[in-house]
Amino acid sequence: MNNKRLYRAELIVRFGHIDEAGIVYYPRLVNYFHVAMEEFFGAVLGTDYPSFLSEHRLGLPAAHLEVDFLRPLRYGDHIQVEVGIEKVGTSSIIWRYRIFRPGETDPAALARIVTVNVDMDTFQKKAVPDWLRQCLEAYR
C-alpha cells in the first residue's frame, strides 16, 4: 500500500460495540469497514453512498470478505480506518482496509472486501460506471 492515495476515516469505539470479553465484538468491527466505505463516498467521490443508492440506483453488496484481527480494540479507542483500492474489475471492486489506533504503526486489523456493483432495482450485477472507476483508480 505504498505510493498511492489513501483515505482515512476517523471512528470511535462506542460503549455498545464491546462484548462480554471486553473488546470490540468482531462482527461489529466488520461494521467499521462499511462505515469507512460510507465516509469514503461522502469525502472523496462526488456523490455520497445514500445518493449512490437512491439516485444512481446502484449498490455494492459484499461478495467476499477476509479479515485479520491482529490486536483487540477497546472502548474509547479513536481509530483510523484506512481505505484503499486493490482492483476495479468490470463489475467488482476489491477494497483494502487497515485499522490503526493512534500512535501505532502496526494495524489492529486488516481487511480485503470484494463488492459487486449491482443495479438496485434488479439486484443484478452491472458494470462499474466510468466516473466511479476513475475516482477509485486514484486510490489504487
Binding-site ranges for a second copy (CB under 8 A): 12, 14-16, 18-23, 25-28, 30-31, 33-35, 38, 48-51, 53, 59, 61-69, 72, 75-76, 120, 123
Pick between residue 119 and residue 137 the one whose CB is nearest to a second copy: 119
Pick between residue 3 and residue 46 the one whose CB is nearest to a second copy: 46
The nearest distance, CB 135 to a second copy, in angstroms, is 19
The nearest distance, CB 20 to a second copy, in angstroms, is 4
Pick between residue 39 and residue 137 the one whose CB is nearest to a second copy: 39
The nearest distance, CB 79 to a second copy, in angstroms, is 13
The nearest distance, CB 4 to a second copy, in angstroms, is 25
Q: Nearest Cα to 35, choosing from 83, 88, 107?
A: 83
Q: What cell does 104 get? A: 501505532
Separation of alpha carbons 49 and 21, rounded Å: 33
One DSSP character per residue, 89-117 reads -SSEEEEEEEEE-TT-SS-SEEEEEEEE-
Q: What cell does 58 get? A: 446502484
Under DSSP, the state recorded for 18 is: B
Do 43 and 35 form a contact (C-beta atoms < 8 A)? no
Pick between residue 51 and residue 134 the one whose CB is nearest to a second copy: 51
